């Protein structure tokens, strides 16, 4: 709980709460010894963070600011510990943060540049003293009523010695640990690499962009999309940015730090004289990869320590068995095979014993590709089967880090391409179908008969409703062995979507617990009684667990509920159909395969003549991994809404997208 007015924190009397956040509070207080108003920042105990680390952080902030003498940097007067909580005493400021000011809209160009110049002046002093702030953002820039900008919070500052080496007394940062705030990370911070003054330059550019446009340069709807923007997008390609500031921002926001201004002093020189060629080069347009992930940045949101790996150069190992990490890798593989995914529910990558075992191998040999691939494969599986929304949010970034390390050394590594495709096709990546298709097609060009490649591309074709393209791929996969059960399910669903007469034969070839969709085929064929009887048999065969497969970590209840809702709706029992649909959505909405259930729910709503609800479910399916134009366009279960203008407009959009993807597949494979 916040401290009550009158509480004494050391020599300071608390008067009021000025602000609070996830780490603690800032209070207005009175220093009776010197008779002045001050601000007291108190940090609460944070779960997973050692108290000594918090104290060290505060000591570092006080030491860092103490080395500086600049009017634009908030003065720190004292530090101490109160009831086991570290606190800092600073000058009390009157005004508002830049974040609060931006809440009222963008600044005009002259005002933005005036504040930006003051910020750069303060950071120039810090950089000259060998300090890198590492957490530049509007919340840490304070605008006083007197028109003075003050830089706050040097708690994450990295101190360097004149030689460029890190201060040995600074708080230790493990290799790969991400420090900073997600939306303002530089690319090198997002990757967990070493930082320097150019890291602050990047964040300053992001702040200036936000002042001029009123919107963040890189913050997007999800952490994954935000990381993608940092690593791949060029925010300068926007019409609401004053063209006169393009060169300045280009020199700040270059992805390659060697193309940025060297430090804040160089930005000031550019403000005075214009960017010199050697100071600011244009930002090249990167190939857009909209869901690209980065090391530990989402773990940062959870307060996790981030990912660790050596900064030593990766080196190829001719004989993996000769690697110093080989024995640790075998131990990780053994543990991986014997640890059910469902036993890891809710655990972050940092808490996952299998992930830690793979990391132990990488710690012994960062160049051990097999360990990176093993770690990525394990994490991608967990991402897909994650049953607890909001937990394990660092799984996808951790997987991408390992895959990017492999592909940086070997862009033609088929296993890594397939895993990156599979990762893109998950909720955590926002169901990035086109990026998934890019990687699957790239893998197909390299190894056209690889079972993993066939399974990945075949599954994408099934979900996109591309029967002509997916059928031969999945048939080849099944010819390679009966163990490719997921390929069999994909082919069965694909044949069912395409209303093909072979559907029954294909369904008979897959395991009984995977035949739920046969109910839908029977219903489409007007064999309603058979559909009902089959569903009863199916549920009885599964038993009380109702899962897709005996080893599946996700219960299949929501899938069965959606089919039951459809059958009830088709029989005119609206109340029961609606109840079952609501229960299916409650149970399954956040799970990876829910897009199949929403399709059944759309068909149920169509039967009940609930056009808006049917379209809502269809749009959800299309946007969450099941843009299945083949089914949308031909399924008789959707006939009750087929003449609806809104449905026709939706169908036309899906038709265009499907044709574009069909062309891409044809161009890649022929």
Summarised one tens digit per residue, pLDDT across range 224-269 is: 677 778 888 899 988 888 888 889 999 999 998 999 999 999 999 9
Q: Is 605 exposed, middle or buried (CB count within 10 Å of its CB: 0-12, 13-18, 19+)?
A: buried
Q: Report CA-CA distances (Å) from 352 to 339, 405, 522, 560.
A: 10, 20, 43, 31
Q: Look up residue 231 and give its two tokens.
A: 């690593």
Q: Report CA-CA distances (Å) from 92 to 29, 76, 142, 164, 597.
A: 9, 10, 11, 34, 56
499 pLDDT higher than 60: yes
638 pLDDT higher than 50: yes
Domain boundaries, the chain: 8-91, 95-273, 309-448, 525-669
- Look up the pTM and report it: 0.61
- Cβ atoms of residues 144 and 93 within 8 Å: yes
Q: Note the pLDDT of residue 311.
A: 33
Q: Look up residue 152 and give its two tokens.
A: 């706050």
Report pLDDT digits (tens) over 513-561: 888 999 999 999 999 999 999 999 888 877 644 444 444 444 558 899 9
Hey, which CATH number is domain 309-448, 1.25.40.10, 1.20.1250.20, 3.40.50.2300, 3.40.50.720? 1.25.40.10
DSSP reduced 3-state for 97 = strand
Report pLDDT digits (tens) over 30-42: 998 888 999 998 8
Active-site residue, from 50, 78, 135, 635:
135
Hey, which CATH number is domain 8-91, 3.10.450.50, 2.60.120.260, 3.30.200.20, 3.40.640.10? 3.30.200.20
296 pLDDT higher than 70: no
Q: Note the pLDDT of residue 222.
A: 67
Lowest mean pLDDT among 242-251, 283-292, 384-393: 283-292
- Cβ atoms of residues 196 and 214 within 8 Å: no
Q: Look up residue 287 and give its two tokens.
A: 């190939």
DSSP reduced 3-state for 421 = helix
Tokens 């200036």 locate to: 208
Please, what is the average pLDDT of the chain?
81
130: left (phi over 0), alpha (psi -120 to 50) or beta: left
Helix (H) or strand (E) holding 143: strand 141-144
User: What does the buried/exposed string (b/e) look like for 44-61 if buried means 16 or more CB atoms within 10 Å of the residue's CB?
Assistant: beeeeeeeeebbbbbbbb
CA dihedral (620, 622, 628, 634) positive or negative: positive
Query: In this structure, what DSSP letter does residue 73 have?
Result: B
- Length of the chain equals 670
Q: Note the pLDDT of residue 42.
A: 85
Catalytic residue at 500?
Answer: no
Q: Find, among 670, 663, 190, 191, the residue nearest to 434 by Cα.
A: 663
CB neighbours of residue 504 within 10 Å: 16
Q: Tell me, which fold does domain 95-273 have in CATH?
A: Transferase(Phosphotransferase); domain 1 (1.10.510)
- Cβ atoms of residues 538 and 568 within 8 Å: no
């Amino acid at each position: 709980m916040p401290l009550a007015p009158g509480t004494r924190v050391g020599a300071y009397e608390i008067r009021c709460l000025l602000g609070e956040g996830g780490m603690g509070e800032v209070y207005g207080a009175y220093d009776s010894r010197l008779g002045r108003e001050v601000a007291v920042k108190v940090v609460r105990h944070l779960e997973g963070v050692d108290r000594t680390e918090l104290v060290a952080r505060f000591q570092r902030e006080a030491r860092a600011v103490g080395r500086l003498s600049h009017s634009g940097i908030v003065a720190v007067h004292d530090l101490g510990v109160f009831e086991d909580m570290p606190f800092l005493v600073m000058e009390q400021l009157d005004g508002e943060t830049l974040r609060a000011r931006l809440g009222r809209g963008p600044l005009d160009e002259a005002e933005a540049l005036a504040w930006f110049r003051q910020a750069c002046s303060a950071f120039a002093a810090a950089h000259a003293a060998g300090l890198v702030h590492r957490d530049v953002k509007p919340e840490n820039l304070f605008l006083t009523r007197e028109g003075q900008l003050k830089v706050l919070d040097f708690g994450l500052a990295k101190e360097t010695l004149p030689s460029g080496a890190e201060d040995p007394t600074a708080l230790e940062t493990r290799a790969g640990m991400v420090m900073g705030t997600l939306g303002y990370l530089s690319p090198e911070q997002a990757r967990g690499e070493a930082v320097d003054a150019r890291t602050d330059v990047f964040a300053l550019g992001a702040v200036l962009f936000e002042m001029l446009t009123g919107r963040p340069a890189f913050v997007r709807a999800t952490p994954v999309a935000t990381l993608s923007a940092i690593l791949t997008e060029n925010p300068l390609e926007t019409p609401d940015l004053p063209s006169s500031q393009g060169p300045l921002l280009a020199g700040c926001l270059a992805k390659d730090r060697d193309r940025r201004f060297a430090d804040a002093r160089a930005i000031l020189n550019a403000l005075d004289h214009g960017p010199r060629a050697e100071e600011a080069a244009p930002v090249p347009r990167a190939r857009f990869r909209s869901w690209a992930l980065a090391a530990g940045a989402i773990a940062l949101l959870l307060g996790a320590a981030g990912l660790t790996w050596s900064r030593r150069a990766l080196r190829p190992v001719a004989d993996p068995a000769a690697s110093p990490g080989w024995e640790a890798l075998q131990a990780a593989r053994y543990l991986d095979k014997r640890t059910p995914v469902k036993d890891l529910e809710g655990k972050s990558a940092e808490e996952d014993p299998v992930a830690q075992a793979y990391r132990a191998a990488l710690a012994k040999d960062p160049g051990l590709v097999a360990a990176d691939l093993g770690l990525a494969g394990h994490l991608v599986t967990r991402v897909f089967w994650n049953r607890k929304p909001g937990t394990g949010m660092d799984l996808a970034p951790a997987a991408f880090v390992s895959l990017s390390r492999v592909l940086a050394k070997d862009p033609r590594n088929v296993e890594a391409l397939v895993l990156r495709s599979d990762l893109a096709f998950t909720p955590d990546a926002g169901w990035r179908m086109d990026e998934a298709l890019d990687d699957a097609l790239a893998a197909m060009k390299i190894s056209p008969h690889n079972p993993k490649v066939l399974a990945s591309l075949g599954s994408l074709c099934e979900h996109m409703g591309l029967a002509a393209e997916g059928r031969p791929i999945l048939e080849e996969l099944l010819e390679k062995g009966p163990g490719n059960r997921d390929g069999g399910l994909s082919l069965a669903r694909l044949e069912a979507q395409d209303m093909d007469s072979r559907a029954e034969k294909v369904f008979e070839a897959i395991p009984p617990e995977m035949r739920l969709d046969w109910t839908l085929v029977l219903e489409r064929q007007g064999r309603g009684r058979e559909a009902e009887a089959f569903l009863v048999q199916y549920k009885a065969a599964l038993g009380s667990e109702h899962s897709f497969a005996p080893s599946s970590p996700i219960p299949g209840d929501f899938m069965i509920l959606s089919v039951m809702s459809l059958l009830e709706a088709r029989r005119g029992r609206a109340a029961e159909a609606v109840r079952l649909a609501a229960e299916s959505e409650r149970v399954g909405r956040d799970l990876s395969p829910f897009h199949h259930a929403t399709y059944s729910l759309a068909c149920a709503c169509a039967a009940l003549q609930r056009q808006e609800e049917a379209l809502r479910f269809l749009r959800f399916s299309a946007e969450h991994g099941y843009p299945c134009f083949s089914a949308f366009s031909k399924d008789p279960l959707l006939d009750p809404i087929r003449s609806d203008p809104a449905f026709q407009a939706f169908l036309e959009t899906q038709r265009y997208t499907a044709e574009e993807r069909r062309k891409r597949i044809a161009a890649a494979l022929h």
